[in-house]
């Protein structure tokens, strides 16, 4: 049976990955809170992403920009005039749609009437005012992409880190978009996290780096265990390019609701640095000592939504199976991504004290592990299968004498007896 969006939403809430935000007040459309296992899993994704861009064989510098930016910044970046989606309303039931999401030749799918407003452009940025004094406030926007904080800090990063072109600036952080129709759970949200690297290089090398980054991003998805058969690279047609882009390739994943963008790789040329140079009146070009001339670096950007990747990993990992006549749901997450790496299970409560040193040993070695001595062993296995815990170590009565536990593999269900002294090594091999 193939996985549905409802399966994922239900598992996320049941097992403490994701909750609707302010649910007791009816929720907030397109906004979600993250529970314990969601936090742990996101931390793993962030950490691997950061390494993947830093160890890409080049120099990459990290930064964290502010969430609020002045109006002048967003005017210069083109977001005030260009960052909008086409919107249309049904005049009969007042339902609002993204015009490119529906066929306006047909009746409204909500009420069945065909009575549309004109298509209008709706700016996706959240606007706010800074300052309390009347007449003395200034307009600001919550950032709709993390990238701009990188561009406006380009010279600061360049001089304070003593780097040379080519180099990258990477950032993980929140972005906000007032999406007309947030949908598909974490796929299109109003508040989400992005992982972006902006690669600054000489204009002559930009096409080459664009190709190299496409390859490197594929290796990242392989490393976190995503099924590469469900991934494809789709170059944008000229008429779908963003206002800043010369060339874009989307990495798409085959979701149950179709092939959709997971990550965008964009050749932004010198658009952003030139715009900020002009509008801020600060020269952001670089002086090349070899040719004794100044040039504006070009930028290759890789941008992926953390929440969207999190959702993708859940879709990819979710399996239902029948084991010994019983149905089980299992998240076959790569051990590197799994929120918890192992769980120690005394067969019965009586063995709790005996089993505890196994847990302590794993924790001291730095593995994120759980201990659970309540309920039948079968029920406990099912619980940890749903959270995606790669291995259960069961401590039974024989363990007292033979100093071994049974390691049960989440995916193969194979069980092997291993010495308690070697559980740490067992985990290291699993995570390699």
Residues at the contact surface with ligand GAP, assessed by CB under 6 A: 145, 147, 177, 179, 188-189, 192, 194, 196, 261-264, 301, 303-305, 307-308
- Which lies closer to ligand GAP via its Cβ, residue 52 or residue 399? 52
The CB-of-380 to ligand GAP minimum distance in angstroms stands at 34
- Which lies closer to ligand GAP via its Cβ, residue 145 or residue 373? 145
3-state helix, strand, coil in the chain (%, to 5): 35, 30, 35
The CB-of-224 to ligand GAP minimum distance in angstroms stands at 15
CA 57/CA 167 separation, integer angstroms: 10
For the beta carbon of residue 25, count every other beta carbon within 10 angstroms.
7
In 3D space, the residue among 256, 258, 246, 269 whose CA is nearest the CA of residue 198 turns out to be: 269
The CB-of-172 to ligand GAP minimum distance in angstroms stands at 12
Classify strands 191-201 and 298-305 as parallel, antiparallel or unpaired. Answer: antiparallel
- Which lies closer to ligand GAP via its Cβ, residue 147 or residue 392? 147
- Which lies closer to ligand GAP via its Cβ, residue 29 or residue 419? 29
- Which lies closer to ligand GAP via its Cβ, residue 305 or residue 335? 305
- Which lies closer to ligand GAP via its Cβ, residue 258 or residue 281? 258
- Which lies closer to ligand GAP via its Cβ, residue 297 or residue 346? 297
- Cβ–Cβ under 8 Å, residues 40 and 147: no
The CB-of-249 to ligand GAP minimum distance in angstroms stands at 11
Residue 48's SS3 state is helix
CA 129/CA 394 separation, integer angstroms: 57
CA 235/CA 242 separation, integer angstroms: 13
The CB-of-248 to ligand GAP minimum distance in angstroms stands at 8
CA 281/CA 289 separation, integer angstroms: 23
The CB-of-195 to ligand GAP minimum distance in angstroms stands at 9
Please return the burial class of 56, using the count of CB atoms within 10 Å of its CB with bins 0-12, 13-18 and 19+.
buried
By beta carbon distance, the residue nearest ligand GAP is 305
The CB-of-145 to ligand GAP minimum distance in angstroms stands at 4
Backbone phi and psi for residue 205, each to the nearest 5 degrees, phi listed first: -105, 0
């Amino acid at each position: 049976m193939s996985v549905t969006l409802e399966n994922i939403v239900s598992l996320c809430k049941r097992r403490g990955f994701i909750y609707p935000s302010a649910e007791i007040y009816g929720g907030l459309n397109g906004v979600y809170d993250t529970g314990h296992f969601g936090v742990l899993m996101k931390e793993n994704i962030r950490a691997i992403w950061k390494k993947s861009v830093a160890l890409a064989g080049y120099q990459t510098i990290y930064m964290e920009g502010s969430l609020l930016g002045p109006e002048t910044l967003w005017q210069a970046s083109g977001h005030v005039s260009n960052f909008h989606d086409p919107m249309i309303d049904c005049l009969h039931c007042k339902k609002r749609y993204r015009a490119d999401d529906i066929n306006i030749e047909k009746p409204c799918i909500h009420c069945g009437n065909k009575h549309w407003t004109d298509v209008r452009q709706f700016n996706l940025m959240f606007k706010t005012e800074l300052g309390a004094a009347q007449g003395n406030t200034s307009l600001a926007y919550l950032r709709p992409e993390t990238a701009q904080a990188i561009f406006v800090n380009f010279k600061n990063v360049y001089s304070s880190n003593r780097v040379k072109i080519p180099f990258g600036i990477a950032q993980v952080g929140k972005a906000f978009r007032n999406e007309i129709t947030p949908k598909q759970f974490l796929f299109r949200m109003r508040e989400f996290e992005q992982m972006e690297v902006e690669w600054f290089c000489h204009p002559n090398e930009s096409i080459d780096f664009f190709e190299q980054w496409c390859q490197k991003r594929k290796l990242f998805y392989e490393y976190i265990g995503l099924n590469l058969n469900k991934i494809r690279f789709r170059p944008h047609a000229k008429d779908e390019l963003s206002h800043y882009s010369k060339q874009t390739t989307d990495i798409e994943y085959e979701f149950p609701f179709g092939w959709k963008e997971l990550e965008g790789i964009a050749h932004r040329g010198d658009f952003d640095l030139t715009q900020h140079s002009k509008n801020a009146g600060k020269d952001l070009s670089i002086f090349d000592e070899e040719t004794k001339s100044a040039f504006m670096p070009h930028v290759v950007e890789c941008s992926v939504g953390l929440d969207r990747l999190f959702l993708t990993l859940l879709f990819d990992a979710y399996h239902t199976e029948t084991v010994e006549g019983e149905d089980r749901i299992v998240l076959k997450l790569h051990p590197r991504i799994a929120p918890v790496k192992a769980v120690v299970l005394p067969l019965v409560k009586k063995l709790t004290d005996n089993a505890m040193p196994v847990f302590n040993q794993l924790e001291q070695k730095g593995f994120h592990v759980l201990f659970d001595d309540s309920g039948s062993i079968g029920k406990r296995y099912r619980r940890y299968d749903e959270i995606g815990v790669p291995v259960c170590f069961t401590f039974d009565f024989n363990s007292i004498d033979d100093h071994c536990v049974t390691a049960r593999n989440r995916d193969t269900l194979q069980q092997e007896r291993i010495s308690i002294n070697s559980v740490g090594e067992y985990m290291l091999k699993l995570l390699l």
